[in-house]
Amino acid sequence: MDLKNKLVILDRDGVINLDSDDYIKSPEEWIAIQSSLRAIAKLNRAGLKVAVATNQSGISRGFFDNSTLAMMHKKMEMELAKVGAHIDALEFCPDHPNNPGPNRKPSTGMVDKLLRLFDVKASETWFVGDSLSDIKCAENSGCRPALVLTGKGQRTLASGIVDSKLPVFDDLLSFTENLINNKT
């Protein structure tokens, strides 16, 4: 499969940066996974579009506001730039899980918007995440799901809930190398 002009959608917390059960609430708490930054640079160089779809219920929970989230994303952009990488689009959903709208994963609103934005087919788009809601969102939207074992990935895999045929990778870099080398 030709990778040029294809899209890879990534979850943020646990895939691009370290995650916390207490939420990432500030730019100081947003700490990049260095191998993920390098992976995104490789995806960029391979001609793939890279987008992020992230639930950020910390906003509706009152842990941080939109301005703080924007600062976290600015830090992400700056960290990516240091390795010659960038994100082509970013969608976030602030909805509380007790009152989810159509954008909160596992619903597909964010993914549907990204698929339209880049005019790509869901069946040719990978969605890489570390949680069951990421995998279900990929499946619900018709994307190809992949689980990484960073973040909540090991816990997700150990739950026994995910399909045994689900592609599982140690981290985003492992996924990227497999994709670029046509092993995925």
Q: Please report, for residues 111, 127, 166, the alpha-carbon distance to residue 142 in angstroms, rounded to integers and kept in the order given.
A: 10, 10, 14
Q: Establish whether 11 is a catalytic residue.
A: yes
Task: Choose, from 2, 13, 88, 95, the residue flagged as catalytic.
Answer: 13
Task: Choose, from 11, 95, 112, 134, the residue flagged as catalytic.
Answer: 11
Residue with tokens 């082509």: 88
> Could you tell me which residues come within 8 angstroms of residue 1 by beta carbon, excluding any fewer than 6 positions away?
124, 182
Read off the DSSP letter of residue 28.
T
Q: Establish whether 88 is a catalytic residue.
A: no
- Considering all CA atoms of the chain, what is the largest pairwise distance in Å, rounded to the nearest integer? 44
Give me the active site residues, please.
11, 13
